Amino acid sequence: MVNLENITRLEDAKRDHLKSTEESFIERLPISFEMLLLLPSILVLGVLSIIPLVTLLWLSVMEGVLSPTDTATFAGIQNYRAIFTNSSIIESWRVTGIYLFVSLGLQISLGTMVAVALDRVKYIDDLLTSIVLMPMLIAPVIVGFLWAFLLDPSFGLYTYLLNQLGFYTQSPMFSDSVGAMIAVIVMDTWQWTPLVSLILLARLKSIPQGLYEAARVDGASFISEFRYIELPMLQSAFVIALLLRSMDLMRFFTKIFITTEGGPGSSTKIIGYFVYEQTLRFGNLGTGSALGVVMLVVTILMGLFFVEAIMGGAGDE
């Protein structure tokens, strides 16, 4: 007994000693413990984001940075002016707009249907959910190839099926400007509708069952249940899904890179691909960077709304 007490006392003393040295060390620092842990990340991110940003801004006001003579000159706002005058850039914004608008519309409406359906399925819903989330995990480069193969005019499975149904002509989908846009949108919809569904589904699961029961007692139909219970409850989830998808649609262009390379002509040349092509393919760093800055501003604005939507707590937890 005595022995045990001794040990405890010894350990207490040891811990007190450790604690006092450690604590006094931390206390002597001018910042709090939380900031001490946060600081390395801030430094790393600072290096990773601010240096590239400054470089981007610098490139956006220069001219001829990569020219053979290697003479860069200050161009002022000339590169920015090009954004509003160059017709191919304006065309690219238009294409981006269509791409964003149609993709979002499809993904949100399809996503809502799937979410409501998954919410009502009471059995094998785990299996169905696992299947549904698969496309999100597949590398975009593979998704691009997959759809290029499925839609190939001479040996594509989907082309074949469409032909059987009497819908389709032999013209290759990707070489027609409307067809290519449709294909690009279908690819993204296939891959990312699941995310929209699952975001909405998470929200649906949080609706108390009692609401449905009460509605049913009042004789509500399936449609009015959806209209008056699910739709209003989903509002904040819609905002989150919309913003997330818009930012990603602006962010990525791998599938377009693999399948259409922006073509035919510039019919699927969304702004992200345009910037890539201008800078790394044509070496036109000035215009590309200026456009990049504008893109960044647009995404940051979307991001602000996004963070406001999840942190500002518009009806959310």
Partner 1 sequence: MLFAFWTLVPIVWMILSSLKYQTGMFEMPPTIIFDPNLTNYHDVLVGDTPVVSNITNSVIVAVASTAVATFFGAIGGYGLSRTDISGKKHLAFWIISTRMAPMAVVIVPLWFLFRYADLLGTRVGLVIVYSTFNVPFAIWLMRSFFDEIPVSIEEAAIVDGATRWEAFRYVSLPLAAPGLGATAIISLIFAWNDFLFALVFTGQDTQTLPVAVASMQSLGGLGWGTIFASGTLVIIPVAVFGYIVRDYLVSGLSMGAVKE
Q: Which two tokens stand for residue 305?
A: 């709304």
Comparison of 16 and 213: residue with beta carbon closer to partner 1: 16
Under the binding rule (CB under 8 A), the answer on residue 213 touching partner 1 is no
- Nearest Cα to Cα of residue 228 among 258, 207, 245, 250: 207
- Residues 231 and 152: beta-carbon distance below 8 Å: no
Comparison of 187 and 229: residue with beta carbon closer to partner 1: 187
Cβ count within 10 A of residue 109: 12
Under the binding rule (CB under 8 A), the answer on residue 211 touching partner 1 is no
Under the binding rule (CB under 8 A), the answer on residue 154 touching partner 1 is yes
- Nearest Cα to Cα of residue 294 among 62, 60, 52, 58: 60
Residues in 66-105 that interact with partner 1 by CB under 8 A = none
Under the binding rule (CB under 8 A), the answer on residue 314 touching partner 1 is no
Under the binding rule (CB under 8 A), the answer on residue 247 touching partner 1 is yes
Helix, strand and coil content of the chain, in percent to the nearest 5, comes to 75, 0, 20
At position 287, the amino acid (one-letter code) is: T
State the alpha helices, DSSP H only, in 46-151. Answer: 51-60, 78-85, 87-120, 125-132, 134-137, 140-150
DSSP 77: T
- Residues 113 and 189: beta-carbon distance below 8 Å: no
Under the binding rule (CB under 8 A), the answer on residue 147 touching partner 1 is yes
Residues in 263-302 that interact with partner 1 by CB under 8 A = 272-273, 275-276, 279-280, 285, 288-289, 292-293, 295-296, 299-300, 302
Q: Which one of the spans 172-180, 190-198, 212-220, 260-268 is the region binding partner 1 (CB under 8 A)?
A: 190-198
* φ, ψ (nearest 5 deg) of residue 153: -60, -30
- Residues 196 and 107: beta-carbon distance below 8 Å: yes
Q: How far is the CB of 151 from partner 1 (least distance, A)?
A: 10
Comparison of 3 and 154: residue with beta carbon closer to partner 1: 154
Comparison of 220 and 302: residue with beta carbon closer to partner 1: 302
From candidates 78, 129, 177, 266, binder to partner 1 by CB under 8 A: 129
Under the binding rule (CB under 8 A), the answer on residue 29 touching partner 1 is no
Q: Mask: binding to partner 1, 98-117, rule CB under 8 A, as x and -?
A: ------------x--xx--x
Cβ count within 10 A of residue 114: 19
**Spatial distance between the Cα atoms of 317 and 313, rounded to a whole number of angstroms:** 7
Q: How far is the CB of 87 from partner 1 (least distance, A)?
A: 20
Q: Which one of the spans 25-33, 79-87, 171-179, 210-218 is the region binding partner 1 (CB under 8 A)?
A: 25-33
**Spatial distance between the Cα atoms of 173 and 164, rounded to a whole number of angstroms:** 16
Q: Which one of the spans 55-63, 68-76, 84-92, 224-232 is the region binding partner 1 (CB under 8 A)?
A: 55-63
Comparison of 103 and 203: residue with beta carbon closer to partner 1: 203
Under the binding rule (CB under 8 A), the answer on residue 242 touching partner 1 is no
Residue with tokens 């929209």: 196
From candidates 257, 261, 263, 266, binder to partner 1 by CB under 8 A: 257
